Amino acid sequence: MKDPLDVAVASAREAGALLLSYYGSLDPSEVEEKGRNDVVSRADRESEALVREAVLQAFPSDRFVGEEGGASGGEDGSPAWIVDPLDGTANFVRGFPHWAVSIARTSGGAHGPLEVGVVLDPVKGDLFTARRGGGAFRNGKRLHVPPRPGLEGAALSTGFPFRRQERIDTYLRAFRDLFLHVQSIRRTGSAALDLAYVAAGIFDGFFEFGLSPWDTAAGALLVTEAGGLVTDFDGGAAWRTRGNVLAATPGVHAGLLARTSAIGVTEAALGG
């Protein structure tokens, strides 16, 4: 039987090569808006089709859930591949070299336990991999989140709630408060890489509202397998379904939860 992690890595590399062939040369006619402040390109769709074909050929009874094409393949409770074929499309189409392929597999159902995760940065050649219970790695080197005890001196990453603009005031309240308690906050435009960078110790934490499963699945497994924590804004597991994510080293995570709770940025405040 094929190893899901090997299949995920091979698929990510193929998709990465395809995306690099388009990078810097997309015609404007090959990019379209699929929503406010949200774009999709020919490269996204071709990358997803490539990954879908590869993983379902290896595991024909599995479910496939992709950002561009939705769900297909096996039954709802089958092992599921959760795929963002190009995380950071806005960066990609503008020539900003920070985007990734994100592939994860669950052991059963789209929101089931995460089994393997891969985040590939084709531009930098960085390959992040994780297997449940087997650790997280960057280019074959084991990752461990650093032992930072709290928010002082921490570097965070974030993403703006551009799809849910009714949350902007809540987001800015959280941003302002955290800004006053940490060393720095960055916004890179790729949640998958933000999470991979938390696992690698480049960032100490990450927070964002309203993400989709394909934005977070692979990166979240990287964080937890590197010793970090991933929760919603109440410290629970609803991030898998609601998409509000706090990911960090244990000490920083405790600080993030304490600060956001103190200013009323909770799951109840964020609504549905």
Position 35 pLDDT exceeds 70:
no
**155-270 placed in CATH 3.40.190.80:** yes
Counting residues of the chain whose pLDDT is more than 90, the rounded percentage is 83
Which pLDDT belongs to residue 127? Answer: 99
- CA distances in angstroms from 204 to 24, 62, 143, 214, listed in the order given: 31, 34, 13, 22
Which pLDDT belongs to residue 24? Answer: 86
Contacts (Cβ under 8 Å, ≥6 apart) of 172 = none
- pTM, rounded to two decimals: 0.95
Which pLDDT belongs to residue 40? Answer: 67
| In the chain, ranges of CATH 3.30.540.10 domains | 4-142
272 pLDDT tier (thresholds 50, 70, 90): low
The token pair that represents 61 in the structure block: 């009874």
The token pair that represents 111 in the structure block: 């929101």
Position 178 pLDDT exceeds 70:
yes
**Tokens 């890595």, located at residue:** 9
Q: Is 251 left (phi over 0), alpha (psi -120 to 50) or beta?
A: alpha
Contact criterion met (CB below 8 Å) for 168 and 265: no
Counting residues of the chain whose pLDDT is more than 70, the rounded percentage is 95
User: What CATH number belongs to 4-142?
Assistant: 3.30.540.10
Which pLDDT belongs to residue 39? Answer: 62
The token pair that represents 244 in the structure block: 């509000």
